[in-house]
């Protein structure tokens, strides 16, 4: 294969980072990508979106996360080239000719994200991975121009790494697997900015025991417990941070807010900034997408607080001024109560289409074997002294307990006023509200079962 090289900078550029210390840039192409308008846009998109309504420090952006993944990728390449350099073709060790390719892929792996990415994607049918590949390969972008300094086909190769179609599994799995530079950075970074300890794991130890092999990347057996710690950290971050009920409530409000805006816009009575108009009309281009960021969205939300439509105005205020919905856990047995609860909410004056939601949040902390999907065949392998491979959950009882399980819950969201006394709403003690509250107890739906003796009759 060709050795991809970039012109070296006359002097190394270092960026101070609260998570990794310093981020080192030696290649001109990396600095040019960093300076591009498409990459600078990442400064204006929060990494965790509405989670900052729960953890006030979580206002870090996708800009520094992308840089962090680049830095970890660079460090892993350094380790591989020093400790595991390829001697002969097919020996399963690291060919450092891949370094620039994987570093650029790490830097650009999230370039396609928009504001409130997952909520936005669900409503407007966008796909951040495909958009990211388009940004990289479109000849009109500054990122594409930067990458073409290396080789005419270099943008397409970088995009193929992100798309997981590049033929070298070591390159792909360094930024996309169940133990990759992407996850290692966001767990540490999100833990730092949310102020929690859950996502912290021994990164320095992980980097000491990581190594390449023929089919990808593995870890040496003396580092198994560090990898185990990483899996548990990921599990805890999802349960305590990413799936926090208030953060999910704000996402529900955000989704309904954009949904209502779309409906009101179609009636021809809504003030909208030009960059969002194309999405409400459904005829956006890549250039329109690149004009969107958190600031644009919040400008629209601020305008909509004065909208003539009362539901849109109220939802905008609820989102901007942090007025979350209440929620309770539901399961298959208690779902039969939801139509009744929605009926009571409607009688109380709330449109259940915009003031209620059923929201599921489940995650697989680890799956030893996934034949399809996002992490297909990316099980974590531990290399033994004789160079044989054993999958992680076969060695760790802790990981085995999590293997293949879905952790999380499903919740029903509804207006808080249905639950508690509000001086501005004295009708809270009307029979309607009392009837609603009889189903709710201690944050979970109260499912009243008849005693078994009674059921037999």
The residue extents of the domains of the chain are: 8-243+367-402, 245-361+409-456
Helix (H, G, I), strand (E, B) or coil at 260: helix
Give yes or no for a contact between 228 and 178, defined as CB atoms under 8 angstroms apart.
Answer: no
Tokens standing for residue 34: 């960093």
Reading the block at residue 216, the tokens are: 């990808």
CA dist., res. 157 & res. 128, Å (int):
18
Same fold, 8-243+367-402 and 245-361+409-456: no
Q: pLDDT at position 392, please?
A: 92
281 three-class SS: helix
The CATH architecture annotation of domain 8-243+367-402 reads Orthogonal Bundle (1.10)
The residues near 282 (Cβ < 8 Å, ≥ 6 apart) are 124
pTM: 0.91
Per DSSP, 60 falls in state -
Q: What is the pLDDT along the chain (457 residues), one digit of tens a residue?
A: 567 889 999 999 999 999 999 999 999 999 999 999 999 999 999 999 999 999 999 999 999 999 999 999 999 999 999 999 999 988 999 999 999 999 999 999 999 999 998 888 988 889 999 999 999 999 999 999 999 999 999 999 999 999 999 999 999 999 999 999 999 999 999 999 999 998 899 999 999 999 999 999 999 999 999 999 999 999 999 999 999 999 999 999 999 999 999 999 999 889 999 989 999 998 999 999 999 999 999 999 999 999 999 999 999 999 999 999 999 988 888 888 899 999 999 998 999 999 999 998 887 777 654 434 554 457 899 999 999 999 999 999 998 888 888 888 899 999 998 876 555 554 444 677 777 777 776 445 654 333 333 333 3
Report the candidate in 1, 383, 3, 72 with the shortest Cα–Cα distance to residue 213: 383
Rounded to whole angstroms, the Cα distance separating 299 from 370 reads 42
pLDDT at 119: 87
| Contact (CB, 8 A) for 178 and 379 | yes
Report pLDDT for 452. Answer: 38
pLDDT at 371: 39
Looking at residue 368, what is its pLDDT?
A: 52
Q: Look at residues 198, 222, 422 and name the one whose alpha carbon lies nearest to residue 323.
A: 422
What pLDDT score does 377 carry? Answer: 54
| Helical packing angle, 117-124 and 245-266, nearest 10° | 40
Residue 142: its H or E element? helix 142-147
Query: Residue 217 has what DSSP assignment?
Result: E
**344 closest CA partner among 414, 402, 283, 406:** 414
Domain spanning 245-361+409-456 has what CATH number? Answer: 1.20.1250.30
């Amino acid at each position: 294969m060709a050795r991809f090289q970039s012109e070296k900078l006359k002097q190394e550029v270092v960026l101070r980072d609260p998570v990794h210390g310093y981020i080192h840039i030696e290649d001109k192409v990396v600095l040019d990508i960093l300076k591009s308008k498409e990459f600078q846009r990442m400064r204006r998109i929060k990494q965790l979106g509405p989670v900052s309504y729960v953890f006030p420090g979580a206002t870090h952006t996708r800009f520094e996360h992308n840089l962090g993944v680049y830095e970890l990728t660079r460090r892993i390449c350094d380790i591989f080239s020093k400790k595991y350099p390829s001697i002969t073709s097919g020996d399963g060790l690291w060919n450092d000719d891949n370094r620039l390719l994987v570093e650029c892929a790490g830097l650009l792996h999230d370039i396609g994200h928009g504001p409130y990415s997952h909520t936005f994607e669900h409503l407007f049918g966008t796909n951040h991975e495909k958009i990211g590949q388009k940004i990289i390969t479109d000849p009109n972008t500054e990122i594409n121009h930067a990458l073409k300094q290396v080789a005419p086909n270099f943008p397409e190769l970088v995009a193929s790494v992100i798309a997981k179609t590049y033929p070298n599994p070591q390159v792909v799995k360094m930024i996309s697997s169940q133990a990759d530079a992407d996850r290692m950075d966001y767990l540490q970074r999100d833990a730092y900015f949310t102020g929690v300890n859950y996502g912290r794991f021994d990164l320095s130890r992980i980097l000491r025991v990581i190594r390449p092999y023929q089919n990808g990347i593995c870890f040496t057996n003396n580092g198994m417990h560090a990898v185990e710690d990483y899996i548990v950290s990921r599990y805890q971050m999802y349960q305590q941070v990413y799936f926090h009920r208030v953060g999910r409530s704000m996402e529900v409000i955000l989704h309904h807010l954009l949904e209502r805006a779309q409906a009101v816009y179609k009636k021809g009575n809504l003030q909208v900034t030009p960059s969002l108009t194309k999405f409400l009309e459904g005829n956006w281009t890549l250039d329109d997408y690149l004009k969107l960021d958190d600031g644009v969205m919040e400008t629209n939300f601020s305008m909509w607080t004065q909208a003539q439509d009362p539901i849109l105005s109220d939802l905008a205020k609820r989102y901007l001024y942090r007025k979350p919905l209440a929620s309770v856990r539901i399961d298959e047995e208690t779902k039969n109560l939801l139509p009744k609860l929605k009926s009571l909410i409607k009688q109380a004056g709330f449109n259940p289409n915009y003031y209620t939601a059923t929201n599921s949040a489940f995650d697989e902390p680890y799956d030893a074997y996934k034949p399809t999907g996002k992490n297909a065949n990316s099980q974590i392998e531990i290399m033994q002294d004789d160079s044989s491979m054993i999958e992680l959950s076969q060695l760790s009882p802790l990981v085995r307990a999590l293997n293949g399980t879905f952790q999380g819950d499903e919740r029903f969201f509804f207006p808080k006023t249905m639950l508690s006394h509000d001086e501005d709403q004295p009708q809270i003690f009307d029979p309607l509200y009392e009837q609603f509250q009889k189903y709710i107890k201690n944050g979970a739906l109260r499912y009243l079962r008849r005693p078994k003796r009674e059921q037999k009759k």
